[in-house]
Amino acid sequence: MTSFLQILLIAHIIFGLLGVIAFYAVWMGLLKHKPSPRFLKFSSLWGFIALVLSWFTGGYYYVAYYGTTVKPVIKAGGYPWAHALFMEAKEHVFLLLPFLAAVVALVIWFWSERMETETATPLGSGFQIKRSLVLLSGLITVLGIIITLAGVIISGAVR
């Protein structure tokens, strides 16, 4: 593997982790009694940028190296299901994450300043929006953790 491809693989993993950590922070922040709009804006924007960067670096690595060099090794090795099951699932779920992240970041960016007043009571107009944001940021985090672990399984099968 060339140094450039190694850097891409490392960047894919580190940006992916930072994206998941950022959305975990968003999830936790939204669950607070009084969420901080500034913190939520910063975390969701950074999370979105990190996931997009992980998307492009991982995508380039996949097209330029994984598909032609790593995949045949895994399929011929003792753990072919690491590609057939985990990589196939990972690449499809991973396509979705930056779009989910963009939705959360955009809603937080344009709405979070009004969150406190609109979620003051359970019947407040923003209550459902906040609830949806909690669910979406939780979904991004849980999916992110699952595909991160899938990445470990796939890397472990390269032998």
Partner 1 sequence: MSWEIFIKIAHLVGTVLGVGGATFAEVFYLKSLKSGQSETSGDFLKTTYRILRIGMIILIISGFGYLILSRLEGHAERLYSPRLWSKLTVIAILLLGVVAWQAKKIPMWLGSAVSFTSWYAALILGAWRGLNATYLEIMAVYFLLVALIAVVLAFIRKSLGIAHPTKT
Q: Is 87 in the site for partner 1 (CB under 8 A)?
A: no
In the set 63, 96, 135, 145, which binds partner 1 (CB under 8 A)? 145
Question: What's the min distance (Å) between Cβ of 113 and partner 1?
Answer: 22
In the set 2, 4, 6, 55, which binds partner 1 (CB under 8 A)? 6
Q: Which stretch binds partner 1 (CB under 8 A): 39-47, 61-69, 102-110, 146-154?
A: 146-154
Binding mask 16-55 for partner 1 (x = CB under 8 A): -x---x--x--xx--xx-----------------------
**Which tokens belong to 100?**
């989910």
Q: How big is the CA angle at 48 (ends 43 and 53), to the nearest 5 degrees?
A: 125
Nearest to residue 150, comparing CAs of 90, 92, 98? 90
Give the CA radius of gyration of the chain.
Answer: 18
Tell me the C-alpha distance between 156 and 137, whole Å.
29
Q: Identify the three-state secondary structure at position 79.
A: coil
Residue 57, by phi and psi: left (phi above 0), alpha (psi -120 to 50) or beta? alpha
Question: What's the min distance (Å) between Cβ of 155 and partner 1?
Answer: 5
Using CB under 8 A as the criterion, which residues of the chain lie in contact with partner 1 when the complex forms?
A: 1, 6, 9-10, 13-14, 17, 21, 24, 27-28, 31-32, 138, 142, 145, 149, 152-153, 155-159
